[in-house]
Structure formats: C-alpha cells, structure tokens
Amino acid sequence: MASSSSPKEIIKEFPFFRVYNDGCLEFFRPPSVKILPFDDPISGVRSKDVVISSQPTVSARIFIPKVTNPDKQKFPLLLYMHGGGFCTFSAFARPYHDFCNTVSSQANAIVVSVEYGLFPDRPIPACYEDSWAALKWVASHVSGNGPDPWLNHHADLGRVFIGGDSAGGNIAHTLAFRVGSIGLPGVNLVGVTMVHPFFGGTEDDEMWLYMCANNDGPQDPRMKPPAEDLARLGGERVLIFVAEKDFLKPVAMNYYEDLKKSGWKGTVDLFETHGEGHSFYFDNLKCEKAVELINKFVSFITQL
C-alpha cells in the first residue's frame, strides 16, 4: 500500500475508470439517474420493482403489457440484463426503462429487467450470480404459486427468452450456457438475444479481468466461450445484433461464427446496423435505425 506521503498516481486506466496507487477508483461517468416505475398511459404497460434476494440484494423491474383477460391471458417472458461494462448503468435508468417498456408493449411480453451487482461494490462474478438468481426466481412461478402475482397469473414459462446488451449480452450467454448444462425445471428457454455483446478479444479484456475477483486469465470461458460451451447452449434460437462502427463488432462476429461451427443444434441469426456505433439506439429509440433494431428484437420474441 502506498504511504501517506506518496504522491497520488494513476497506475491503471480502463475505458470506464482509472485506478490510483492508493487503491481509489475514478469513474468517467456519473452514477445512473434512476426513475421510479410507472404505468404507461399510452401503451397500457405497467411496471413495478421487486426484490428477488436480500442477501445479497438483487432486484428487478417487471413490465407487463395491457391485460384484457385477467383469467386466461398468458404472455411470453423476457429476462433482460442491462449493459454498462459490469460497473455502471442500471435497470432503473430511463433508457433501460423506456427500452423494456417498448419491448413489452410491442412484443406483448412480460419483461423482467435485472438490477444486478456492479463493480466495485460487488466484483464479477456477482453480475452472473445475481442474474442466475433472477432466472431461478422467474422459474419459481412455474406452478403458479411464486412470490409475484403478475408472473403467477400471466407468465407463460413455456416461452422464456433471455436477452441483454453489451455486458448484458455476455451475461445472457452465460445464463443460456447454465440452462443448457444443468437445466431449469419447468422453464422452456426458447431463445437468446444479444445486442452488441461483449466477449474476449478487445481492449476491454483487461478491465474485465481486473474487475473479476477470480478469473482464468484471457481464456476465461465467461469472457471467451470455448466451442464445448457453445455446443451446450440452452434454447432453440439465438439472435446477435452488431453495429458497423462498434468496436465490439469483431468479437460478436467471432461468437456468431464459433456458435455455428460448435455443433449446437439451434439456429443463429445476425442483424447488422450500418453506419452506427455501440448502443446507438439508446440515444433515440424512435430514430429509424433504432426502430429497425427494436422491430427485429420484437419479432424474435413473437415468431412461432
């Protein structure tokens, strides 16, 4: 540890934060501004926050589309993980609230948006474990006697999807791998969608390794999935989104090609947005290319 007389110096600098010789961290973005859930008068989508676990604290925001038949109406369910480099952003921030609200409305689906633990308060692998806890919490409603009435009455756990963007896309892969490896009784994982996902092979690798309490180096399977893990992926369909100017496009393309060659029995598709960069759609969900992306995302859930 640096002595009290040592000058403060930067010893590491990553895309999201820098590290000083006294152990302090300086993040380049302010903490996310969180908004409360609310009922959307235009789409009819309702939202609320739930606590999934108190030790450690894991919560989620649930979105449910307009219910026209309270006794019989069932909706597919999407478990969604936000992006932010494993150290920032929130499921309760306005961009993610609006995105999930839109998907819930247009796909006529329940969305469970996970508020997982972030570095440095809870280093990696907290993000994976919290998201897995959220998926198991969803599965606890399979007999209609789980902790949340919306899911008990209206979730069709025979049509479950996992999705995420950037870091959340990486987490979505890890959850799908767990489902394919150990199963999730009562739940049928139909598909996985990853928007501009992070995987190993970029300058962000060093940051991930720094944030991960225990890792296996650059070949850690959570960061760089091997062929044998890809072959065991749960679900029947995968949709990967890439953007032409996104620095993560090459690793997402590698994942796409590796999955096709792995022996996995499902179908995988790729959707590219030209002329745009990483997570561009959060700047304006109503711009033409964002609408195209959302329409593709929604159709992935609604196709039979």
246 is catalytic: yes
- Which residue in the list 166, 173, 229, 279 is annotated as catalytic? 166
Which tokens go with 297?
């995302």
Return the biggest CA–CA distance within the chain: 69
153 given a catalytic annotation:
no
Q: What is the CA angle 201-205-211, rounded to 5?
A: 160
d(CA 304, CA 301) in angstroms, rounded, equals 8
Query: Which residue reads 């995420």 in tokens?
Result: 164
With beta carbons less than 8 A apart as the criterion, state whether 16 and 88 touch: yes
- Which residue, among 283, 284, 254, 285, has the nearest Cα to 270 in the 3D structure? 254
Phi/psi at 12 (nearest 5 deg)? Answer: -145, 145
> Among 90, 97, 278, 279, which one carries the catalytic annotation?
278
Say if residues 168 and 80 touch (Cβ distance below 8 Å).
Answer: yes
Distance CA 31, CA 49 (A): 19
Given 141, 246, 258, 262, the catalytic residue: 246
CA separation (Å) from 148 to 34, 51, 141, 242? 23, 10, 8, 35
Catalytic residues: 166, 246, 278
